[in-house]
A and B are shown apart, each in its own frame.
Chain A
Amino acid sequence: MTPTMPLKFVSSNRRVREDRRFVAGQGRYVADIPLEGLLHVALVPSQHPAARIVSINVIEAMKMPGVHYALTGEELAKATEPLMNGLDTPNVRRFPLAVGQVRYAGEWVVAVVAETRAQAEDAAEKVRIEYEPLPYVIDAEEALDPASPPVHPPHGSNLLLDKTFIWGEVEKHFAESPRRLAFRVVWGRSSTVPIETFGVAVKWDPWREMLDVWASIQMPKYSDQIARSLRIPLNNVRVHQDVDVGGSYGVKRGIKQTVIVSHLARILGRPVRLIEDRLDNMRAGDAHGPDRIFDVEVAFNDDGNPQACMGADIEDYDNDANLDIIVTNFATTLSTMLPSIFIRDG
């Protein structure tokens, strides 16, 4: 290419191809997918931050008009594998619906299926759950105290990951730098909030053993995780990629929601859809980013250029109910900016 050749894309005004259908009202989001015989799910959340589930009574709920099923965590756990655990913590097991114990307020306990979403919601109010409240702590540093109640008792503590990342010659740079600054940064719980909550609709073909999935999804390895949890081959999960996503900003993962509706579609023989309402989404969807506490010390020159950074980062994934991935983004971002860093991440 010669320097005088005009550039085709740089500084030219390119529009994404989706625009025309979006402005015409012809976007095709998960709630717009027509499926014959579709059933709808409403979820029963826990009102307790920590409690043992003593009993679940769905008799009255099942008598409500249009109701097809009320699914508990115990039943779902028997039929599926726990959700993927991205850490070396085999005793921390996560399920789409709570099993035996709830670990945060809003955690989904029962899924009620009915002909319409309104019927499912009415019936969900009839589910009776007896809880035995358990002690809990809210503060992340307090949670690390060995005396604090563990969120996952089989794991034995609230520490899921304790890892040190070192780039460069940290001690040398600190020794050579004339100035230091130590400070604490606290990052509160945060979330992006797309206008469209997460939604998923699935259809199970029992004769081909094929699961068709339409979802508001941007999740890597989505079909892999669904197949693994449902104990079916990856080839038997068909995720339709022609579904528009009404905003995500990284929070639409949807594994547990998809496992719930997939199991229901398999046992009921009808397509099943779950679209989070705003409360489902805010309390127990995939949206929560962790609290983070950074204790940082920076070494820098007289001219103000930072040379090295040492830090301890506590990431509070709350009751760790719905997050698959621990992100050490603080450390990795800094590593691109400084000659050397030392981070203890937990």
Chain B
Amino acid sequence: MPKTLLRLSVNGEDHDLAAAPHKTLLEVLREEMGLTGTKHGCELGECGTCTVLVDGRPVLSCLALPIELEGRAITTVEGLAGAGRLHPLQQAFAELGAAQCGYCTPGMLMAAKALLDRNPTPTRAEVVEAISGNICRCTGYGQIVEAVEFAADRLRKTNAPRDPQAAVADEPPVGRPAKSKAPQEGILEAAQIDALRGGRS
């Protein structure tokens, strides 16, 4: 079948490419654009592994045709991190062990991003519902939900207007060693994890 010329906006950049018109967005992203972060799962629209964002909304790329998506803003997992710096959702997933085999992770992240972009303060039920179309077979849903909540919390703090009083209150008491406030990968405080898990147990 002859190829069709397409102009797709992916991760903020316009791409001109040629692809057979029956190719799905998943196939075009992976095979024509080399963006293999988005995964094949069931290829039937049931597992959510291939989730990307189109104009901010989660879309199953195994069921979407690129020819219908020209002029729309497509975001893949590769578009989340910037210049070696992870998005807070990615950071939270890594810190809380929300990625086990990693195969469902890109789809989970995109579904979670769509949620937090429109609802910065989701309840646990809203988080669960937002990722309900994404299957994790390593059964790590607990950590995934916690990671989304943790990322939402961080994003709220990052985006909150600066309050001079709050900044003073956060200073470490005199005489005790100051800890770096910058969260480091893998050094999430046990108390933070317990606090997150408190709602469930």
A 21-55 contacts with B by CB, 8 A: 21-27, 29, 31-32
Give Cα A58 to B44, complex, Å: 28
The answer to whether B188 and A13 touch across the interface, beta carbons within 8 angstroms, is yes
Closest A residue to B147 using CB positions: A23
Q: Which of B35, B93, B97, B99 has the most CB of A within 10 A?
A: B99
Partner of B40, one of A22, A26, A31, A249: A31
Residues of B within 8 A of A26 (CB): 37
Determine if A20 is an interface residue (Cβ-Cβ < 8 Å). yes
Determine if A291 is an interface residue (Cβ-Cβ < 8 Å). no
For chain A, the count of residues having a C-beta within 8 Å of the partner chain is 32
Determine if A127 is an interface residue (Cβ-Cβ < 8 Å). no
Residues of A within 8 A of B93 (CB): 19, 22-23
Question: Which listed segment binds B: A81-89, A143-151, A191-199, A329-337?
Answer: A191-199
Partner of A27, one of B47, B103, B135, B186: B103
Partner of A278, one of B30, B42, B95: B42
Residues of B within 8 A of A130 (CB): none
Q: What class of interface size applies to chain B in its complex with A?
A: 35 or more
Determine if A303 is an interface residue (Cβ-Cβ < 8 Å). no
Partner of A15, one of B41, B81, B186: B186
Question: Which listed segment binds B: A96-104, A165-173, A239-247?
Answer: A239-247
Give Cα A78 to B138, complex, Å: 40
Determine if B38 is an interface residue (Cβ-Cβ < 8 Å). yes
The answer to whether B95 and A27 touch across the interface, beta carbons within 8 angstroms, is no
Determine if A14 is an interface residue (Cβ-Cβ < 8 Å). yes
Residues of A within 8 A of B41 (CB): 195-196
Question: Which listed segment binds A: B104-112, B163-171, B172-180?
Answer: B104-112
The answer to whether A20 and B38 touch across the interface, beta carbons within 8 angstroms, is no
Given A19-B94, A23-B93, A195-B47, are A247 and B103 also a contact pair (CB < 8 Å)? yes
Determine if A302 is an interface residue (Cβ-Cβ < 8 Å). no
Determine if B16 is an interface residue (Cβ-Cβ < 8 Å). no
Question: Please, what's the 1-or-0 string for B64-95, where 1 marks a CB less than 8 Å from any CB in chain A?
Answer: 00000000000011101100001001110111
CB distance from B64 to the nearest CB of A (A): 17
CB distance from A14 to the nearest CB of B (A): 7
Residues of B within 8 A of A22 (CB): 93-94, 99, 102, 105
Residues of A within 8 A of B38 (CB): 25
Name A's interface SS.
Answer: loop
Give Cα A245 to B37, complex, Å: 14
Determine if A277 is an interface residue (Cβ-Cβ < 8 Å). yes
CB distance from B9 to the nearest CB of A (A): 18
CB distance from A230 to the nearest CB of B (A): 28
Contact count A vs B, C-beta below 8 Å: 112
CB distance from A278 to the nearest CB of B (A): 5
Closest A residue to B35 using CB positions: A25
The answer to whether B190 and A192 touch across the interface, beta carbons within 8 angstroms, is no
Determine if A139 is an interface residue (Cβ-Cβ < 8 Å). no
Given A192-B137, A247-B138, A278-B44, are A20 and B77 also a contact pair (CB < 8 Å)? no
The answer to whether A195 and B78 touch across the interface, beta carbons within 8 angstroms, is no
Given A29-B103, A194-B137, A246-B102, are A20 and B193 also a contact pair (CB < 8 Å)? no
Give Cα A16 to B49, complex, Å: 22
Residues of A within 8 A of B40 (CB): 31, 196, 275
The answer to whether A24 and B103 touch across the interface, beta carbons within 8 angstroms, is no
Residues of B within 8 A of A21 (CB): 102
Closest A residue to B110 using CB positions: A25
Closest B residue to A20 using CB positions: B94
Give Cα A245 to B35, complex, Å: 18
Residues of B within 8 A of A247 (CB): 100-101, 103, 137-138
Question: Please, what's the 1-or-0 string for B180-196, where 1 marks a CB less than 8 Å from any CB in chain A?
Answer: 00000111101001000
Give Cα A143 to B94, complex, Å: 50
Give Cα A275 to B136, complex, Å: 20
Determine if B153 is an interface residue (Cβ-Cβ < 8 Å). no
Determine if B121 is an interface residue (Cβ-Cβ < 8 Å). no
Q: Which of A13, A15, A25 has the most CB of B within 10 A?
A: A25
Determine if A18 is an interface residue (Cβ-Cβ < 8 Å). yes
CB distance from B95 to the nearest CB of A (A): 7
Give Cα A226 to B109, complex, Å: 37
CB distance from B100 to the nearest CB of A (A): 8
Partner of A195, one of B49, B80, B97: B49
Give Cα A32 to B44, complex, Å: 20
Residues of A within 8 A of B137 (CB): 192-195, 247, 249
CB distance from B66 to the nearest CB of A (A): 16
Give Cα A25 to B94, complex, Å: 12
The answer to whether A25 and B103 touch across the interface, beta carbons within 8 angstroms, is no
Given contacts A13-B190, A27-B103, 6 further A-B contacts (CB under 8 A): A13-B186, A13-B193, A26-B37, A31-B36, A195-B101, A247-B137
Q: List 11 A-B contacts (CB under 8 A).
A: A14-B186, A15-B94, A18-B102, A25-B38, A25-B80, A25-B105, A29-B103, A195-B41, A195-B101, A196-B101, A249-B138
The 4 closest A-B pairs by CB, nearest first: A25-B37, A22-B102, A246-B103, A25-B77
